[in-house]
Chain A
């Protein structure tokens, strides 16, 4: 039934007819009197608004934690929404994650608590969730707490990680699967809000192409981790919005022998295991990209398309020689990713054209690393991000791809430094020359994330570190310096 968003709230189907398309789930919940979900920042930074979305994945319900403050209400269509109020059965005992937080004193003022509860709940339902310290830190990186000092919350997470994962949601899964099956739609959703602004959610590539043909200026929306802020922070009112989250083709991941093809709508969370298995360094970087909530919503395509100068994944993708498949009314073209970024927030995308997929070639024999340097360990925009790849033949560099974020108005390769490497032996002297060349490749900004001098120095140090790591000399240098 077009015009109506249908989803399961807790265990009941809810229908909302033609809502304001950019009302956030958080605002909607709180206006309903469901105030357990909190607003702390309205931009996906603090996690106080964390809710859990349940969706059908391979015949099972998979739960993921997301930020309700930058999730638009129509994005719930066909899904299950769980908030902190849903976990405890009426008059029943607390859910195990709730009880653990109480017992370990994981709540003080209580305002961040519902968000922690929901992040832990999503992990409770992942078999491998909360099993080790790294997993616990990653799961909770998107939840800020100003009172407890985190240790009591981490203690609670450890207990949850060690406990049995049985709860009533596991018991009720078959019923919920049936309920969600009943909400499935075969054709796209179209909404018109009270002020006439429109929302389209196509189901397939053909529908998407037709929509963009009709509305070439539409705002394309993927995970809303960026566009959400246009609404909550800049008070913009995009119209029409075409949401890509239900376009099946855009969510495909193809692992081929010589390349990985990621649909533009693949979330960072879905891409993480694939990237991590091919390039452990890329996996480590993605774990520090945003937070669990942001990675659950945010897509690789969105991260590329918005052309931020410091999108953390870009230097790695450039270094790996990724190519973008762009689609305009069914006509496809493929370009190297570095050619996509033309200037500050300016891209090679034509009107009516959209990013369909990213293909990342595997580089047999090449050495690759990627780094993120930020003031805060998690949940921080990089001061400098870097992705490096060198290919050697008999110790001589035959190809070098050195890419940086945070050093210019776009993610950019270091042409001078690359030239200083190619054709030369992969030695400390060669690297020293390339480090020197970085000074002419970039003229970074002074800003509150770091000074220009710092950025240049760290860019050089990262290259040095890459060399030392790739040649197993790190120990040597430390001994020499001590």
Chain B
């Protein structure tokens, strides 16, 4: 039975395990190749599916010929829209936890083609090679229709979305008279920024292995950020009972959002397993990783007006973003601008344009990684126009209340981020003049930007089972996509029960475990960590009660409030030398195991009275080759305020990884669209550039002290997204400082820089 404890509104002081730089507990499994990912579960009789992708972008299939494929030795079956088994009809049956409003994509549903490389058939064969060869032999004829994939072409037909998705807040109403204030401002910037499509490209490609059990039930190994999400989606789409399917996902080879929604390989593998009554694996190829979900391209206008002393007088931030024809994907892009700075005349506007692409999908810091760089680049342009230090400009307009909602922040140590980051970076030595630093043929520049991300929390359950042998097993259906969930949850549990970390096992990635929300948005420590804490506290409470009732009263007349757990003992808080081993307490109480399940729910009331966010200040140094236009990021200092840090090692690594993805966003990452074909051109890792190690210079992560009693009982805000947010703008601003060239279209590639440099020298 699930207990629903009321979590007291005080910050507890968790035990000694919390805050330690523990190495990840799953490290040895990963360095020896024993960690198994979705496509690595082999069972006897496993067959392989290979997906055939459409060659047009929009239209319909007029004919599909599978005869040649079926003749290929080893090929068992070819699924198409003509012979697929029955699946759900209502849109709501196809929705998952992360679905926006609209009609979710249905693989092999009918003859319609709505995006490039849409899956049109699945070839199932005894071997992977035969399936791939069969896929080559499937012949499809199409009737193509004109498509539009260019955001610039549709930006003027954009519409204002409603509240299309959980977690999305439309922009607040305008305040003051921003247009007039802008017109009257002494100093102003009014510029447009363009950001490209990006793809998540986790190192592991999406794959699903569906094991068809003897009793007809399915065990699904899926690459997902939420086993329960995949589980309920499969049950709903195929009309299966909850007990007929179990989804397992102990290890995920990165996702960054790509696993927030069930992807079509899961549908394909389940469909084939059900129909063929065989175990089936379907893996996407790297090019097929570009056929679902991406960070949408965005065009933004930012206009800022300020008094000569830097006081902001007007702020207009408008964004137009891509969505598909069938769903209204939305992300918060512009709202943070109004939240970060004090300004009386503000208009924030967000629109969507429909294009013939797949629905975009949350990618690390969705919206913030797009909108915050725009406002932060504009603030740098304003600082330059004002001849003011960009840190000083930000502090001049600093706010301790959220102006959008007129609420206090639960905590906001951004000032400390600026101070400590600037100190570490040596910012005070910066000459504000662009092109003032060089070394040989390299121009050197320093830039700064701030970052922000929401500190969210969801409802989650966890179960803790303490055995008389002193081993604790804690379980929750959450995921570890490389973030360190196994490790930090073990730490929270060990800390709460005073156990060595080696005595704790954390289980996750299994739809049969206590419910947890999809892992994303930096809310897992907050949501699941709070549930782990609550479950372990209940176990602790049971131990104290048993200890108080022990025969011979080894702890005297101590009440639970007088006890502590340390080193596997129940001890007196006032006299820790008086203690009894946990095993003895349990033996005397006649229990072999103590099991407690708890649900954590956010502090709804207190949260509603505050704005909750993580913040960062990012400082970047770049070196630009003036003959070639190449940009090297030689140094980054990222100072982060994210509440309590459970594990500085895993958290530091999260931020560092975010910084590198931010470097990619600033300089390299871009999925090119051939608008004539409506297809992505660089759908592989050779041409879709993620940074290599030589692209990375020194990265220094600082966590500033931040105390928060509102966010959750742990006081921890989550660090998965904040690392990326400020980085693209800090780099873009540094490139300007180095060269005097402002590149407003990301990524800042060598040809854009060199074109700017030659325009500048011509001028």
Pairwise interchain contact A375-B31, C-beta atoms closer than 8 A:
no
Most chain B CB atoms below 10 A, which of A46, A137, A465? A46
Pairwise interchain contact A376-B692, C-beta atoms closer than 8 A:
yes
CB neighbours (8 Å) of A94 from chain B are 28, 31-32
Q: Does A441 contact B (CB under 8 A)?
A: no
Q: Does B243 contact A (CB under 8 A)?
A: no
1/0 per position for A370-392, CB-CB distance to B under 8 A?
00010111111101000000000
Pairwise interchain contact B691-A376, C-beta atoms closer than 8 A:
yes
Would you list which residues of chain B between 246 and 287 have a CB under 8 Å from chain A? Answer: 251-256, 285-287
Neighbour of B253 across the interface among A38, A149, A233, A458, CB < 8 A: A38
CB neighbours (8 Å) of B686 from chain A are 41, 43, 45, 379, 381
If A35-B33, A105-B24, A482-B438 touch, whether A42 touches B689 (CB-CB below 8 Å) is no
A-B contact pairs, 5 of them (CB 8 A): A31-B128, A36-B33, A43-B286, A141-B692, A458-B627
CB neighbours (8 Å) of B629 from chain A are 454, 458
Q: Does A478 contact B (CB under 8 A)?
A: yes
A45 CA / B690 CA spacing, docked (Å): 11
If A94-B31, A110-B253, A474-B441 touch, whether A147 touches B685 (CB-CB below 8 Å) is no
Chain A proximity of B594: nearest CB distance (Å): 32
Pairwise interchain contact A98-B32, C-beta atoms closer than 8 A:
yes
Q: Does B728 contact A (CB under 8 A)?
A: no
Chain A proximity of B547: nearest CB distance (Å): 37
Chain A proximity of B757: nearest CB distance (Å): 9
Pairwise interchain contact A461-B751, C-beta atoms closer than 8 A:
no
- Stretch among A79-87, A184-192, A251-259 lining the B interface: A79-87
CB neighbours (8 Å) of B33 from chain A are 34-37, 83-85, 114, 117
CB neighbours (8 Å) of B650 from chain A are 105
Q: Which residue of B lies closest to A464 (CB)?
A: B627
Pairwise interchain contact A101-B27, C-beta atoms closer than 8 A:
yes
Q: Does A20 contact B (CB under 8 A)?
A: yes
Pairwise interchain contact A107-B689, C-beta atoms closer than 8 A:
no
Pairwise interchain contact A108-B693, C-beta atoms closer than 8 A:
no
Q: Which residue of A lies closest to B628 (CB)?
A: A373
Pairwise interchain contact A457-B440, C-beta atoms closer than 8 A:
no
Chain A proximity of B264: nearest CB distance (Å): 19
Neighbour of A110 across the interface among B482, B630, B658, B690, CB < 8 A: B482
Pairwise interchain contact A105-B133, C-beta atoms closer than 8 A:
no
CB neighbours (8 Å) of B483 from chain A are 108
Pairwise interchain contact A448-B682, C-beta atoms closer than 8 A:
yes
Q: A38-B37, A108-B484, A149-B653 are in contact. List 20 more A-B contacts (CB 8 A).
A: A31-B128, A41-B286, A41-B685, A43-B286, A43-B686, A48-B203, A87-B32, A101-B27, A105-B653, A108-B483, A110-B35, A111-B202, A149-B656, A376-B695, A378-B692, A448-B681, A450-B749, A454-B629, A458-B754, A462-B627
Q: Does A211 contact B (CB under 8 A)?
A: no
A39 CA / B696 CA spacing, docked (Å): 24
If A109-B252, A235-B132 touch, whether A377 touches B684 (CB-CB below 8 Å) is no
A149 CA / B681 CA spacing, docked (Å): 26
CB neighbours (8 Å) of A152 from chain B are 653, 656
Decide if the interface of chain A is mainly helix, strand, loop or mixed: loop
CB neighbours (8 Å) of A375 from chain B are 630, 668, 689, 749-750
A147 CA / B27 CA spacing, docked (Å): 14
Q: Does A264 contact B (CB under 8 A)?
A: no
Q: Does B23 contact A (CB under 8 A)?
A: yes
CB neighbours (8 Å) of B628 from chain A are 373, 458, 461-462
Neighbour of A40 across the interface among B30, B31, B205, CB < 8 A: B205
A30 CA / B46 CA spacing, docked (Å): 13
Pairwise interchain contact A40-B751, C-beta atoms closer than 8 A:
no
A64 CA / B192 CA spacing, docked (Å): 50
Q: Does A333 contact B (CB under 8 A)?
A: no
If A42-B286, A448-B672 touch, whether A148 touches B689 (CB-CB below 8 Å) is no
Q: Does B657 contact A (CB under 8 A)?
A: yes
Q: Does A472 contact B (CB under 8 A)?
A: no
CB neighbours (8 Å) of B23 from chain A are 102-103, 105
CB neighbours (8 Å) of B698 from chain A are 151
CB neighbours (8 Å) of A41 from chain B are 286, 684-686
CB neighbours (8 Å) of B632 from chain A are 377
1/0 per position for B733-763, CB-CB distance to A under 8 A?
0000000000000000111001100100000
If A37-B33, A46-B685 touch, whether A235 touches B128 (CB-CB below 8 Å) is no
Q: Does B501 contact A (CB under 8 A)?
A: no
Neighbour of A105 across the interface among B28, B35, B649, B749, CB < 8 A: B649
If A40-B286, A111-B202, A235-B132 touch, whether A84 touches B32 (CB-CB below 8 Å) is yes
Pairwise interchain contact B656-A148, C-beta atoms closer than 8 A:
yes
A41 CA / B201 CA spacing, docked (Å): 10
CB neighbours (8 Å) of B252 from chain A are 109
Chain B proximity of A61: nearest CB distance (Å): 22
Chain B proximity of A236: nearest CB distance (Å): 9
If A84-B33, A105-B23, A144-B690 touch, whether A451 touches B751 (CB-CB below 8 Å) is yes
Would you list which residues of chain A between 113 and 159 have a CB under 8 Å from chain B? Answer: 113-114, 117, 137, 140-141, 143-154
Q: Which residue of B lies closest to A87 (CB)?
A: B32
CB neighbours (8 Å) of B661 from chain A are 146
Most chain A CB atoms below 10 A, which of B251, B660, B751? B751
